[in-house]
Amino acid sequence: MLPAFGNDPNAWLKDLKPFLIDDPAEFVSQGPLALTSHRYAQEFDEVKSVGSLTSSERTPDQTHAARYWAENPPATWSRVFRTLSAQQGLTLTENARLYAMLYMTATDALISVWDDKAQRLFWRPITAIREADGDGNPLTLAQDGWTPLIATPPYPEHPSGHTGLSGSIVKTLQQFFGTDEIAWTDTNTAGLTRSFSSLSQAIDEIVDARVWSGIHFRTADVQGQRIGRRVAAYRQGRYFRPKDESD
């Protein structure tokens, strides 16, 4: 799938005033791998192989996961929140607290991610693979016409917005429920169903799925998740604490 060749529809996020954190620059990622490094070549080969539209290395289940998580991430997670709330029998007050924690933390994570994206301006796999002859790395081989499984978003690659959002959500759910052992099944608007036995299983799959989709290098996924988790950890020590802890 080719990019839409449009302007970044989310570029405004970096200019928002955060709800909870003071400065998104405090949550900056370590940055993408150096183009001339051996690790970059390894990640290049990984996405080139398993992220291609015509990949013979990607399994049917991996393709299914990639397509499931390609749905609008806030829409996916909002549906999951409703499922978890019902399963856990949350009260109106508990729901109000949980939803405020989730959405405020996720917003600050996305602000941090897009602030970082604007600084990095790193290329997507579709460009990197097609233009590899000019990256200065003898270990990367260009492939004309290489196409990813999922349409490439029209904004910089590093760090991953999906894993930044999802990392903050998973960490917040772990904090709220006090456990990672939360199970659910969800069907998205395309009719694709995934089941999870834990929160960590979901975030691990998302990190992988963005590589299987052909739209991210693994480092961007890992570092995006880390931003989200760090924002959630920041919130946990300062906001939404039990009343007797904040008096």
d(CA 245, CA 247): 6
- Cα→Cα distances 219→36, 46, 58, 126, 211, Å: 15, 12, 19, 16, 10
Say how many domains are in the chain.
1
- Domain of 238 in residue numbering reads as 43-246
- b/e for 146-176, b at 16 or more Cβ within 10 A? bbbbbbbbebbbbbbbbbbbbbbbbbbbbbb
Q: Is residue 4 part of a domain?
A: no
Its pTM stands at 0.93
pLDDT in 10s for each residue of the chain, 247 residues? 566 566 677 777 788 899 999 999 999 999 999 999 999 999 999 999 999 999 999 999 999 999 999 999 999 999 999 999 999 999 999 999 999 999 999 999 999 999 999 999 999 999 999 999 999 999 999 999 999 999 999 999 999 999 999 999 999 999 999 999 999 999 999 999 999 999 999 999 999 999 999 999 999 999 999 999 999 999 998 998 766 654 4
Q: Is residue 12 part of a domain?
A: no
CATH number where 76 lies: 1.10.606.20
Q: Is residue 87 part of a domain?
A: yes
Q: Is residue 69 part of a domain?
A: yes
Q: Is residue 5 part of a domain?
A: no
Q: Is residue 200 part of a domain?
A: yes
Q: Is residue 139 part of a domain?
A: yes
d(CA 59, CA 26): 38
Q: Is the peptide bond before 125 cis (omega within 30 degrees of 0)?
A: no
Q: Is residue 18 part of a domain?
A: no
- 129, 44 contact by CB (below 8 A): yes
d(CA 142, CA 129): 5
